Amino acid sequence: MRFILFLTLLGVLAGMPTHAQKARPADQQQIAALMATQTSAWNKGDIEGFMTTYWHSDSLLFIGKNGVTYGWQATLDRYKKTYPDAAAMGKLDFKLLEFKPLASDTYLLIGKWHLERTIGDLQGHFSLILQKIKGQWKIIADHSS
């Protein structure tokens, strides 16, 4: 049920007219810095550091190829299970394609991810919903495929 609500909300928000609000350069820079923090932590093998960019809440949503994961701890556990060592983690690279403001404190970020690995590269796209919480941008929903 939460997944259907999330998709409905995402559809409504993504369909809002973009001319009503333009992406602010300061927001884009801060969000790009958050993504750079993720990349750096990942490439050091630091999944916990990678997870500092996510909303530390049971309401965090992660949607991947195996379905929906609810909550920060469950998402961390999922990452640790899926990427148990440096070979599985590889080297992460993001291409940030679109910053769409949904509200003054909420953005939809669309991009591509690529993992270069000795055991075989992986790549795909992502959509993130980020929200400014207590003055910091946090990922509140992540759909990666």
Interval 15-42: pLDDT, tens:
554 445 788 999 999 999 999 999 999 9
Residue 115's nearest CA partner among 95, 135, 100, 132 is: 95
* Residue 55 maps to a domain: yes
Taking phi over 0 as left and psi of -120 to 50 as alpha, with beta for the rest, 113 belongs to: beta
List 98's β-bridge partners, or say none.
Answer: 110
Q: How far apart are CA 17 and CA 40, in angstroms?
A: 34
Q: Does some domain include residue 105?
A: yes
Q: Would 9 be classed as within a structural domain? A: no
pLDDT in tens, 58-67: 999 999 998 9
Residue type at 91 in one-letter notation: K
In the chain, the number of structural domains is 1
Two structure tokens written together for 16: 């809002």
In a domain, 5, yes or no: no
Residue 31 belongs to a domain:
yes
Predicted structure pTM score: 0.85
What's 74's domain CATH number?
Answer: 3.10.450.50
Residue whose token pair is 């999944």: 47
Domain interval for residue 108 = 24-144
